[in-house]
Amino acid sequence: MSSKSILYILGLLVIGCLHSACVNDIEKIKKITFKPNDPDEKMSELFLTYSDSGMAKIRLYAPLAESFNKNGKIIKFREGVKVEFYNEKGALYSILTAKYGEINDKEGTMEVKDSVQMFNPIKNQRMETEALYWNRMDSAIFTNEMVMVRTPKALFFGKGLRSKQDFSSYEFLKPQGKIDIDSKK
């Protein structure tokens, strides 16, 4: 056998070994990299607009959104969330902010926690609490936590609150408060 033949056979063997070494087994990769608590999707700087008949109804912003598809679709906002609600004419009527949020897409609900604030710019009123829940089906927001509502003329406290998402009117479940009454009128 000539030296050229030996080199040719060795070259084929090396190429064959290299080719078989480059095959990636997806199951082996999953075993190495898969963590059961990791999100299925991860998005940075999420801007999401829900609209109806071409008009924005809800705008959501989150620095980080993580989607989990195991038991229905759950979207978590671990770095905070801001939600703007608009009326049928497209005017902004309330703003919801929190340091943490979670949407359950299957149930149509949202839960926000930690430094929760809801602001109605039309009435210049602000609500503050530590946890708030929103139901997309009936546009209701509610909490069983301590709540503080500030208006230009009053400061209300209570435990538990129910309201529509526009925060135009609300009901305390266990109210307390202080109201400044103008006696000149």
How many Å is the maximal CA-CA distance in the chain?
117
Take residue 7 and report the two structure tokens written for it: 């080199």
Q: Is the pLDDT of residue 20 over 90?
A: no
Please tell me whether residue 120 adopts helix, strand or coil conformation: strand
Are the beta carbons of 19 and 12 closer than 8 angstroms? no
Count CB atoms within 10 A of the CB of residue 30: 9
The confidence band for 177, taking pLDDT boundaries of 50, 70 and 90, is low
Nearest-angstrom CA–CA distance, 132 and 114: 9
C-alpha span between 81 and 51 (Å, rounded): 19
Read off the pLDDT band of 91 (50, 70, 90). Answer: confident
pTM: 0.73
Q: For residues 172 and 147, is the Cβ–Cβ distance under 8 A? A: yes
